[in-house]
Amino acid sequence: MDHQFKLIRFFLLLALTVFASSASFGQQLAPVDSLKEDSLRMLSQKLKEPAENLHLQYDVGDLARDILYPNRKPDSSRKRSGITVIPNIAANPTIGFQLGIKAVAGIKVGSDPKTLMSVAATSLSASTKGIIYFYINHNVFTNGNKWNVQGSLVFAKSVTPDFGLGIGHGEGETEEDQVLTNPDRKGYVFHSLYFNFREKVYKNVWPNVFLGAGVSFEVRRDIEDHNTPEDELSPYKVYTDRYGFARDRYSANGLLFSIQYTSRDNQNRAYKGIYADAGFRANQTWLGSSKSAVQFTTDLRKYFSLSHKNPEHVIALWNWGSYLVSGAVPYLELPGTGRDMNYRSGRGYIVTYFKGTKYNYSEIEYRFPITTNKFLSGVTFFNMQTANNTVGTKLFEQWQPGGGGGLRILFNKATRTNLCLDYAWGKYGSKGFFLGLNEAF
């Protein structure tokens, strides 16, 4: 019997790994009501923060230990690793079957207890349709939060879906305008070689306030649309020709200037606090950019913990926007669905489903624990997107909704790293399964 029990637990871990890394459909679990002794009035009371008792929490590392070493007792004094590694497996008609590996790390730098957690992530994957994707990104706070360094590096042989400019409302008097706004939501797919390097350095100038500057280089080469004949119009061709970009290549290289405020208690999964970042991006031809352009971007997030006893009950709010001030931005680099810094906005739609020279996105999410040991938790969320189309529709005139729910599996309790499995719906029959490490925002 003991041998059979070990075998059952082994297959449980194996099933969890496969489920965590495969594109599949999941059942949404009902939230547990643990707010009877707590209420929203806790938000206005100055109560002592409860310590996180990690030894009472259960993550995938504990599950692996129980399977591999069933007779070993947990050691509450052992320091947990801040590194999480999982397979990166996905499948859909656009990319084919994808296989790779993904890792997320978290650590506090220095001895100052007020130092915010530094996080980093990396992934390498390849697909049956020839896609190769590598990235590494980081968000590092030095001791005492004197400096904050954010950046990313991406190399890809990529596939980019396209559904036209704007928010899905076709208009305009010419055939080109109708093609550009694409009211029928016809899908296009672009293959290209993509390189992106972005680095920003922030200096702490006031409690929780940082001023930052940096650079960003985005380069695409060998841009091809295999499914559209050369003499047939597409949104990409109409936009690219109108604004004077080459059809097969471009660069968008510029300077970054930002001001940031952050009071989140954790960078991976905040229970409380605020994150706000606003700044300008100035693409410059002297940096090799195909065209000059100025964009203004904002990223605003607020977290409310609803329970002092169970702080995992959280209402999270997010608004992200990007607005062209002057110049021209290449078509495939326009702000839109999933084009935020972490590519997590717009669950319910694929990346770039909606886009414009001006774009705004809002989301609300309720996060709740399911099991008392924090191993399982859940979320429900709702989002709205709006964009202009340069033809007639202006920003904030039309909105498109999305929403869904998901399951969370605690992968690393030392860094509050969750595996996120979400199913979401949008308009035009859009729906899908979304997998990620750490919360969407």
**Average of pLDDT values for 35-39?**
37
Q: State the Cα–Cα distance between residues 163 and 351, nearest whole angstrom.
A: 10
Percent of the chain residues past pLDDT 90, beyond the cut: 57
Q: State the Cα–Cα distance between residues 408 and 377, nearest whole angstrom.
A: 5
Cβ-Cβ contacts under 8 Å for 93 (sequence gap 6 or more): none
Domain ranges of the chain: 2-37+53-74+159-189+200-217+250-437
pTM, to two decimals: 0.82
Q: State the Cα–Cα distance between residues 263 and 304, nearest whole angstrom.
A: 12
For the stretch 289-337, pLDDT in tens is 999 999 999 999 999 999 998 999 999 999 999 999 999 999 999 999 9
Q: How far is the first Cα of the chain from the last one, in angstroms, to the nearest whole number?
A: 45
For the stretch 89-119, pLDDT in tens is 766 555 678 889 888 888 888 889 888 889 8
For the stretch 380-425, pLDDT in tens is 999 999 999 999 899 999 999 999 999 999 988 888 888 899 999 9
- For residue 117, what is the DSSP state? P
Please say if the pLDDT value at position 29 is more than 60.
no
- In Å, how far from its chain's centre is CA 192? 22
The mean pLDDT value of the chain amounts to 84
Helix (H, G, I), strand (E, B) or coil at 420: strand
CATH tag for 2-37+53-74+159-189+200-217+250-437 (out of 3.40.190, 2.40.160, 1.10.287, 1.10.10): 2.40.160
Please say if the pLDDT value at position 74 is more than 90.
no
**C-alpha angle 339-344-350 in degrees, rounded to nearest 5:** 70
Q: State the Cα–Cα distance between residues 174 and 66, nearest whole angstrom.
A: 66
SS (H, E, C) 196-254: EEEEEEEEEEECCEEEEEEEEEEEEEEEECCCCCCCCCCHHHHHHHHCCCCCCCEEEEE
Count, residues in the chain: 441
User: Treating both helix axes as pointing N-terminal to C-terminal, what angle do 2-21 and 60-68 enclose, rounded to 10 degrees?
Assistant: 150
In the prediction, which pLDDT does 301 show?
98
For residue 180, the surrounding DSSP H or E stretch is: helix 175-181
What is the pLDDT confidence band of residue 37, given thresholds at 50, 70 and 90?
very low
Helix (H, G, I), strand (E, B) or coil at 182: coil
Burial track 82-107 (b if 16+ CB lie within 10 A, e otherwise):
bebebebbbeeeebeebebebbbbbe
Q: Which conformational region is residue 439 in: left (phi greater than 0), alpha (psi within -120 to 50 degrees), or beta?
A: beta
Please say if the pLDDT value at position 79 is more than 80.
no
Helix (H, G, I), strand (E, B) or coil at 340: coil
For the stretch 179-222, pLDDT in tens is 999 998 899 999 999 999 999 999 999 999 999 999 999 999 99
In the prediction, which pLDDT does 408 show?
95
What is the pLDDT confidence band of residue 46, given thresholds at 50, 70 and 90?
very low
- For residue 7, what is the DSSP state? H
Q: Which amino acid, 321?
A: G
Q: State the Cα–Cα distance between residues 14 and 7, nearest whole angstrom.
A: 11
In the prediction, which pLDDT does 28 show?
31
**C-alpha angle 62-68-73 in degrees, rounded to nearest 5:** 55
Q: State the Cα–Cα distance between residues 87 and 102, nearest whole angstrom.
A: 6
Residue with more model confidence, 249 or 56: 249
